[in-house]
Structure 1
């Protein structure tokens, strides 16, 4: 009766410790997030982009939430392990002496079977501590691209543009491309026909982009004034000019779509028709290899087997012991075409072999 009561007490204490630890972590995270919002004078995390210096504020919120998620998982795992050891020790008082064997087994398991789990945990901790990604970031992890919804102790959850939720093991993440850190850049290449006044068209396009940047709706999304980088390339069809704009992270696509629409309207007003550029379409395996995400398997060529050469059949003369060069008599002969009246000739009889001379004894 004493042992079940002790086990029950251990389980209850472990559950209470987890609840208290989770509450403390969440409270600290909420205080940091609310402090950032109060400092920026906003009430919503999404509204931090309107503030004067949103980059540091948004990164602080995202990183705090990611660290809070990881710490919650670590505390839960630690409490479960300690509670399990105490329960085993309570049920069997001699279990402490056998912990050396358990430790050896755990070491062997970590060395062979659980090394991937350890790799996932360590990689996840370093990614969060080094601020490589956070909850809400738009990232490219290689296996998946999308918005980070959760950073766990072993798995990171990514929601792609189609709504699919990807569970990526932290140990499988070899590179992290984060679009939500720092700034983004919109790059638009526009084709202008040869007969158009290129400097005049460039000036009109840049003026359109600057007027969009000065509007209150779009001003908060631009970090700098748009720039015209000039002629990017000259082909046989047109002159390609490049227009760029530096935007806040996460706003690149919205700015690019609106800017394309306005630039198209400007070109129509100037009666500048964008020429149709020819493109090279790859087909077959070459085209499949050029598509992102399509990795055709590389297989070794099949081994070629030598075709067995059929052995020549033995002729009847060889079976009778005749020499190979001896000509066989014709069994039948057809009449020659030049002499229609010729009759088939009978095969000549075979000459008998001359008897061999007996050997003389010395």
Structure 2
């Protein structure tokens, strides 16, 4: 009887010690993630990721501590630990086969968060899915397409990610002019437009748009390329603005942008007609 009571006290002591150790290590985890300098400079993670990683590590720590405590207590009461572990191993193996995709999702989710592959609010491409990241979980990532659809992608299937928010993005605009036009004059007009647009959108522009030169002699046009770089996703806005302003300036300067035409031969007389847009 005395031995049983002594074993119960030992088991209670082990539980108390396990709890104290868990609390101490949890505080240590909080302290490590609390230093914002270390976060920003070394781990490169944000406050939201810090909380996620902290909770994940604490959860893993609690499972480990209580597992060790239970095994130790079973040994105190002379329970055959080896048999218990063998049975648990067989059960774990059976569950593992059924939940391997879940485990893969969780492990991949952990590394997505830890390595900061993408963040909420960033525009990314996963596989053939484009969209804004709305939520990052340990099991799934939710992204919303610009048309409104929400894609829920298992983290285990995230094998290649394209992030459009990290660093500058390049804008590329191809402008076609008619073969009859003066190329130098067209480039001069485009360069003037680039300067005006750069002044209007200087808050989002990293590198001023400029004319690269003639990039193609197409079937019906001479193509001139304009490039520039912007912050984040603003490259599309810059491209739209450049196309609009170049068209307006071409109209004022009389620079022709080619469009489909049809030549009709009528009694030996050539007659040029514009082709309707729906043909």
Scaled by the length of structure 2, what TM-score is found? 0.69
> Is residue 91 of structure 2 the alignment partner of residue 105 of structure 1?
yes
Question: CA RMSD, aligned part only?
Answer: 3.8
Quote how far apart the aligned CAs of 1:269 are.
0.8
> Is residue 266 of structure 2 the alignment partner of residue 260 of structure 1?
no
Partner of residue 271, structure 2: none
Contact residue 221 and residue 247 of structure 1 kept, 8 A: yes
1:205 counterpart (159, 184, 190): 190
Q: Higher helix fraction: Structure 1 or Structure 2?
A: 2
Deviation string 1:321-353 (CA, Å, 9 cap, x unpaired) is: xxxxxxxxxxxxxxxxxxxxxxxxxxxxxxxxx
Deviation string 1:121-167 (CA, Å, 9 cap, x unpaired) is: 23223333333222222110014211122222121121221232221
Deviation string 1:240-292 (CA, Å, 9 cap, x unpaired) is: 111111111121122222222211211111122322269xxxxxxxxxxxxxx
d(CA) in 2 for partners of 1:159, 1:84: 40
Partner of residue 46, structure 1: none
Partner of residue 210, structure 2: 227
Contact residue 88 and residue 95 of structure 1 kept, 8 A: no
2:60 counterpart (66, 78, 85): 78
> Is residue 121 of structure 2 the alignment partner of residue 147 of structure 1?
no
Q: Higher strand fraction: Structure 1 or Structure 2?
A: 2
Scaled by the length of structure 1, what TM-score is found? 0.55
Which has the larger Rg?
1
> Is residue 102 of structure 2 the alignment partner of residue 156 of structure 1?
no
Contact residue 53 and residue 114 of structure 2 kept, 8 A: no
Deviation string 1:167-217 (CA, Å, 9 cap, x unpaired) is: 1111101210111112101100111011111111111112211222123xx
d(CA) in 1 for partners of 2:181, 2:153: 51
Which residues of structure 1 form unaligned runs of 5+? 1-5, 37-55, 279-362
d(CA) in 2 for partners of 1:164, 1:80: 38
Change (3 A) 1:236 1:118: same
Contact residue 66 and residue 128 of structure 1 kept, 8 A: no
Change (3 A) 1:190 1:203: same
d(CA) in 2 for partners of 1:73, 1:220: 39
5 Å-filtered alignment, 1:18-97, equals 24=30, 28=34, 63-65=45-47, 67-68=49-50, 70-72=52-54, 74-75=56-57, 77-78=59-60, 81=63
Contact residue 192 and residue 239 of structure 1 kept, 8 A: yes
Contact residue 69 and residue 151 of structure 1 kept, 8 A: no
Match of 1:226, SS state, is strand
Partner of residue 45, structure 1: none
d(CA) in 2 for partners of 1:226, 1:234: 22
2:172 counterpart (177, 182, 187): 187
Change (3 A) 1:204 1:221: same
Ranked by relative contact order (alpha carbons within 8 Å, sequence separation 6 or more), the top structure is 2
> Is residue 256 of structure 2 the alignment partner of residue 250 of structure 1?
no
Contact residue 66 and residue 134 of structure 1 kept, 8 A: no
Change (3 A) 1:95 1:243: farther
d(CA) in 2 for partners of 1:70, 1:107: 28
d(CA) in 2 for partners of 1:66, 1:169: 20
Change (3 A) 1:277 1:115: farther
d(CA) in 1 for partners of 2:182, 2:138: 59
